Structure 1
Amino acid sequence: MSKQSEASLVDLIDALLPQTQCRQCGHQGCRPYAEAISCGQADIDQCPPGGDQGIQLLADLLKLPAKPLNPAFGAQRPLQVAVIDEATCIGCTKCLPPCPTDAILGASKHMHTVIAALCTGCELCIAPCPVNCISMIPANTEWTKANADQSRQRHQAKNQRQAKVEAEKSERLNRQKQLLAKLNKGKTSV
């Protein structure tokens, strides 16, 4: 398979995934799972949020027989969203980095809240919370293709922003190292 057709297949698979970025499939998000499926390193039955419908869509695309969700990766259930008990929240910000779509708003030492319309129900914010103030409740809606597309865009934007911050940090450190090297060179030549 050519690189271009492999990339196209990854795009097609990724477009069928729910984009919750929950990592229940054993990969770091929907795109890495799509990449693993496309090269035969993962099976189509590992996505609980996609459930039976998602498995069927993947099976149809890849011309494979459908199979039930592998219970080792979790169980299919209705969409849930995170809620923060604002009275208990201490504003530690530990829930912010794992949120794949920046659905949590808050600042250090201030109460946080979840924008329900942006929450994918991934549950990645629960474990880092030191005061257990985050819980999951049933969503008032079904997860749609439009939700998945919005989630993919927000996740990509967050990844791009984080990469830019890391590149800027690396550049600053390199400039500091160069400056220190110049200063140290000047001291040794005196």
Structure 2
Amino acid sequence: MTMTVALVAIGLLALLFGILLGYASIRFHVEGDPLVDQIDEVLPQTQCGQCGYPGCRPYAEAIANGDDINKCPPGGESTIKNLADLMGVEPKPLDAAHGAEDVKKVAYIREDECIGCTKCIQACPVDAILGAAKHMHTVIVNECTGCDLCVDPCPVDCIDMVALNPTTASWKWNFDDTPKGDIPIKMVS
């Protein structure tokens, strides 16, 4: 009998707290800033921190609050142009203090030298490194954003950043280089 009373009491308390939390989540709901969401969609989502912020979302919030739009080396000039269009400002050249835009690079782990310390796994913001403690690690090339955050923590320097040469399977059309306006089409009869 006491066990049943205790279970009913705990059940009623859980129900009461559930209703209270449900009401509080609806009553005190805070809407996000739609401009921050739009800016965050334009950013490359590498979460590398080269802009001086811990990730793309905090940088998007800073841009919405008036920070410069030219601090993202992974996004490069195309991201700066898209941000300028979105914010209604003039595009600026990439700020050299935050890095330079270069060829897409990915991490490469020389597996025979890897000691399995897992420091690179902990440093990777996008979980592109596979491995376990005291076993060799490897990089998922399609997931690697080239942020370079895994190189410094490696105690044996077995990680290199290598240029990713585009192949027919990985090449993507750069829509920022397409001509604007009408493109004349010649009809053949």
Q: TM-score of the superposition, structure 2-length normalised?
A: 0.71
2:50 maps to 1:24: yes
Give the counterpart of 2:77 among 52, 59, 70.
52
CA distance in 1, matches of 2:45, 2:63: 15
Pairing 1:87–2:112 present: yes
SS at match of 2:122: coil
Q: Which residue is equivalent to 1:61?
A: 86
Alignment map for 1:3-42 (pairs within 5 Å): 4=31, 7-40=33-66, 42=67
Larger-Rg structure = 2
- Give the whole-Å Cα distance in 1 for the aligned partners of 2:171 and 2:115: 30
1:74 lines up with 2:114 in the alignment: no
1:116 aligns with 2:141: yes
Aligned-pair CA distance for 1:143: 8.7
Q: Describe the superposition over 1:101-121 as per-residue Cα deviations: whole angstroms up to 9, x where unpaired.
A: 111001110000001011000
- The separation in 2 between residues aligned to 1:77 and 1:140, in whole angstroms, is 12
Q: Secondary structure at the match of 2:108?
A: strand
Distance in 1 of aligned mates of 2:171 and 2:91: 21
Partner-residue secondary structure (3-state), 1:61: helix
Residues of 1 paired with 2:69 and 2:154: CA distance? 32
Q: What's the C-alpha RMSD, in Å, of the aligned pairs?
A: 1.8
Q: Which residue of 2 aligns with 1:106?
A: 131
How many aligned positions are there?
141
- Provide TM-score, normalisation by structure 1: 0.70
Give how far 1:16 is off.
Answer: 0.5
Q: Quote the offset at 1:140 in angstroms.
A: 3.4
> 5+ residue gaps in structure 1?
146-190
What is the CA distance between 1:124 and its match in structure 2? 0.5
Q: Percent identity?
A: 59
Q: Deviations over 1:123-176 (max 9, x none)?
A: 11001000000001111347979xxxxxxxxxxxxxxxxxxxxxxxxxxxxxxx
The AA in structure 2 aligned to 1:39 is N
